Amino acid sequence: MANPLTIADLKSLAQRRVPKMFFDYADSGAWTESTYQANESDFAKIKLRQRVLVDMTNRTLETTMIGQKVSMPVALAPTGMTGMQHADGEMLAARAAEEFGVPFTLSTMSICSIEDVASVTTKPFWFQLYVMRDKDFVLNLINRAKAAKCSALVLTADLQILGQRHKDLRNGLSAPPKFTPKHIWQMATRPFWCLDMLQTKRRTFGNIVGHAKNVSDLSSLSSWTAEQFDPQLSWADVAWIKEQWGGPLIIKGICDVEDAKSAAETGADAIIVSNHGGRQLDGAPSSISMLEPIVDAVGHKIEVHLDGGIRSGQDVLKAIALGAKGTYIGRPFLYGLGAMGKEGVTLALNILRKEMDVTMALCGKRDIKDVNASILLGRQ
Ligand code: FNR
């Protein structure tokens, strides 16, 4: 495919370039994947209102998320093992986001470390925190994010225990990856991916190895990750994290009105309406279907963001119309990265920007800050 035009095009290209177990890792949801699918399909149920003969000149998508300027209201979501979609994946994606003027969020479970990403960027990026049982390790991560001048901490609340993804289990994918003959065959059939991977030293969890107690190699890392996610995490821990961090805080993984109310009480700067891209509780509602009730309940107190299922600029616009101040993409940028490295991430962002801009104009709006429910059919 010479000229990918959509996120779906990038997905097909990534499938051809990335070894199956890593492509499937990105393209999987929990159990039956019903929530993963609903995240995407529920956007299609929302219809836009076509307006004509209104001035469509001088359009702008610029706005802010948690008070920080963004060239459009789309951040890159934190995604684990991004450096397995493409060698040095987190560094490439962070640079693409920086050049584009949108936030990049580095996952705790990234391959490139906080320091690696800081070394190739000039503007602050955001850091996503998983609260592990080892609180010294958590404190150390927070301090490393501060030292790297990260401008927001994204605290993920919906992964106290790991949802089960059948594709990963069938592929024998573990964290960190352990390579069997089947995996080696899958990699051998993706020579360009292998060539890139051979040229980097970053092939394990850079935020963890050499930083967590007694984690120095692949086998110690494996047992550490298995036992460290904290099933006892509570709202009291959020207050502790907020105090330790002292900067802008975003709570990610809210998909219920009562939880949104509790999150708003913490004094965080924003929440992300999210079900982890359908990777945790299969059967949970789609993020977009929960956005409006959550905005109604807490939108006057806290900024509300959304992720999950965004595959076009139209989807972003619909989320903004329903009250989100910003959105995040996970898989769309991973597909771009897997397909074409940094250029592919830029292309994914460009695709969304173009679609958003044209759609906004055809709905009769010129400024993203004026987009509201009036662009949706039946909502005026
Ligand atoms: C994720 N997500 C995620 N979230 C998080 O807080 N920390 C993480 O390490 C990860 N890891 C991760 C890996 C992969 C491969 C995916 C696809 C997702 C969830 C992510 O931040 C976001 O919530 C979803 O990706 C949003 O849905 P879409 O855009 O992928 O549909």
Dist CA 51 CA 53 (whole Å): 7
* pLDDT score recorded for residue 174: 77
pLDDT at 218: 67
**CB of 29 closer than 6 A to ligand 1?**
no
Best CA proximity match to 121, nearest among 98, 93, 150, 89? 98
- pLDDT tens-digit profile of 154-202? 999 999 998 999 999 999 887 777 788 999 999 999 999 999 999 999 9
* Domain range 7-47+62-360, CATH class: alpha beta
- Looking at residue 341, what is its pLDDT? 98
Task: Using most ligand atoms within 8 A of CB, pick from 251, 276, 334 the residue to mutate for ligand 1.
Answer: 276
Q: Is the preceding peptide bond at 103 cis, omega within 30 degrees of 0?
A: no
Indicate the SS3 state at residue 125: coil
Q: Pairing state of beta strands 74-76 and 249-254?
A: unpaired
Task: For residue 333, give every residue at least 6 positions away whose Cβ sits within 8 Å of its Cβ, in sequence order, or none.
Answer: 76, 77, 79, 93, 96, 345, 348, 349
Beta-bridge partners for 164: none
Ligand 1 centre distance from Cα of residue 331 (Å): 7
- In tens, the pLDDT along 280-320 reads 999 999 999 999 999 999 999 999 999 999 999 999 999 99
Instruction: For residue range 39-93, list pLDDT tens digits in order.
Output: 999 999 999 999 999 999 999 999 999 999 999 999 999 999 999 999 999 999 9
pTM across the whole model: 0.97
Instruction: Tell the burial category of 120 from Cβ atoms under 10 Å away from its Cβ (0-12, 13-18, 19+).
Output: middle
Length of the chain: 380
Radius of gyration of the chain (CA): 20
Bridge partner residues of 64 (DSSP): 69
Per-residue pLDDT tens digits for 194-204? 999 999 999 88
| Spacing of C-alpha 349 from chain mean position | 13
Instruction: Flag whether 79 is marked binding.
Output: yes
Sign, Cα dihedral of 217, 176, 185, 193 = negative
The angle that helices 257-265 and 235-245 make with each other, rounded to 10 degrees, is 40
Q: Which atom of ligand 1 is least distant from the CA of 274?
A: 23
Task: Determine whether 305 is an active site residue.
Answer: no
